[in-house]
Structure 1
Amino acid sequence: MKETRGSLRHLTRAKAPWYWPILRKESRWTIKPSPGPHPLRRCIPLGILVRDILGYASSMRETRRVLSEGKIEIDGKTVRDYKYPVGLMDVIHVKPTNEYFRILPHPQKFLWLHPIKES
């Protein structure tokens, strides 16, 4: 009989990757990215990107509303999942402000949003 390792669907803020721009002692839990094009240790969940990095929402409830209205595109596709993993070389388009960002590596922060022109 195989021993289980516990829940794999939850992630505490203390065990989140160091480059995520979240406050470690604000609350106990954070968003764990869903399976997708980027592995856990090389991505940021879309909810954290919208709320903490871009600042388009002040709470996760507002973040989910922004995403459900289809205001954010990733690589040309509208994404409504707040757990969607966003990683290296992804292009983020914010429709209401018509801003474009590309996620690039940064020497200190690991992942960085670089503003780009529409192309």
Structure 2
Amino acid sequence: MARELKKHLKRLNAPRHWMLDKLGGAFALKPSSGPHKSRECLPLILVIRNRLKYALTYREVVAILMQRNVMVDEKVRTDKTYPGGFMDVVSIPKTNEDFRLLYDTKGRIRLYAITGDESKFKLCKVRSVQFGQKGIYLNTYDGLTIHYPLNIL
């Protein structure tokens, strides 16, 4: 009988850059599948509750997300375990705040406040370039595919 993927994550086995306290409970939320690797991301619940301090409990975070108050890369996200990663922009339109997820000197993911103009763009690392019949396709590190038609080039 085949085994499925684990849906849980012990707090002690969580990545160190999440900076979770050891005695805060037995489990941590496992990030859902998405654009960033599970060991190189920060679930949205940790961004809102632990880093921004907009909520005290899990239920408060779920209520904030279900009211569609949080945007990641200019898209509304309601998944509490959505993986936010390097160079992602977290926006909260009601408070007019924008944050970018970046690494600090110790390799931890930090939230840095940015202006509204900076939140409009995102730097991406190109992982591969493919040539197709209708143009050139650039694949980035976070799963985006950018298509350049041949008539532009």
TM value normalised by structure 1: 0.92
Following the alignment from structure 2 to structure 1, what is the Cα–Cα distance between the partners of residues 8 and 79?
16
Query: Map of 1:64-103 to 2, 5 A cutoff?
Result: 64-103=62-101
RMSD (Å), alpha carbons = 1.5
Q: Secondary structure at the match of 1:67?
A: helix
Segments of 5+ residues of structure 1 without an aligned counterpart are none
1:113 is aligned to 2:116: no
Pick aligned residue for 1:13 from 8, 11, 14 = 11
Q: Which runs of 4+ in 1 moved over 2 A?
A: none
Compute the displacement of 1:96 (Å). Answer: 1.7
Q: Is the 8 A contact 2:18 2:108 kept in 1?
A: no
Of 42, 45, 48, the residue aligned with 1:47 is: 45
Which amino acid in 1 is paired with 2:41? C
Tell me if the contact between 1:103 and 1:112 (Cα under 8 Å) persists in the aligned partners: yes
Letter in 1 for 2:115: K
- Between 1:72-81 and 1:20-29, the stretch displaced more is 20-29
TM-score normalised to the size of structure 2?
0.72
% identical aligned pairs: 35
Deviations 1:1-54 (A, max 9, x none): 76x4x7611001000000103212111011000000000110000011100000
Distance 1:84 1:7 in 2: 17
Q: Which moved more, 1:88-97 or 1:104-113?
A: 104-113
Q: Tell me the alpha carbon deviations over residues 44-99 of structure 1, each in whole angstroms, 9 at most, x when there is no partner.
A: 00011100000000000000000000111000000000010000000010122110
Asked if the contact 2:8–2:27 (Cα under 8 Å) also holds between the matched residues in 1, the reply is yes
The residue correspondences of 1:24-63 to structure 2 (distance < 5 A) are 24-63=22-61
Greater RCO between the two (CA within 8 Å, min separation 6)?
1
- 1:88-113 CA deviation, whole Å, 9 max, x = no partner? 00001012211000111111252111
Residue ranges of structure 2 left out of the alignment (5+ in a row): 118-153
Number of aligned residue pairs: 117
